[in-house]
Structure 1
Amino acid sequence: MDYQKVLDQLVDGELKEYKVDPKDAFDFQRTLRSYERRQSITGRAMRGGSIVYSSVTSAK
C-alpha cells in the first residue's frame, strides 16, 4: 500500500478519512512519522484497534 499517496490525498481533501486496521498500523505510522505535513493529519482510535485518520481541517 502506498501510504504516502494516502496521506497526500487526506491533506489535499481528496479523501475524507482513511481507516487503518491494527495489522497495518505500524507500517502506516512509520510513513506518517516521516511525512512532512503530518501535523495536518489526526487520528481517532476505534473499538477493536482500528484508527481512522483524517485531515485536521475536515476533523473539525
Structure 2
Amino acid sequence: LGRKVRRQLAPICASLRLGLSNAVLEATNTKIRLFTRVAFGFRMPGSLMALAMLALGGHRPDLPGR
C-alpha cells in the first residue's frame, strides 16, 4: 500500500489541493444524461445544449415578471 501511495502521491496531493474528485464529474454526467431524456422531443440539438448550459453553466438570466 505504501508503494502505491508513494507512486500516486502527486495526483493525490493535486486532488486534495484543488478539491476535485471523480464524484463531481460523475454527477455532471448523470445530469446531462437526464437532460438528454428530457429533451427527446426537441427538434434541434442546440436546445439540449442550451438546457444543459442553463442548468449546469452557472448563468441565471432574469425571468420576465419575476
For this structure pair, what is the TM-score category when the shorter chain's length is used for normalisation?
A: under 0.3
- Which is bigger in relative contact order (C-alpha 8 A, separation at least 6)? 1
Query: What is the TM-score with the length of structure 2 in the denominator?
Result: 0.25
Larger radius of gyration between Structure 1 and Structure 2 = 2
Query: What is the TM-score with the length of structure 1 in the denominator?
Result: 0.26
More helix per residue: 1 or 2?
2
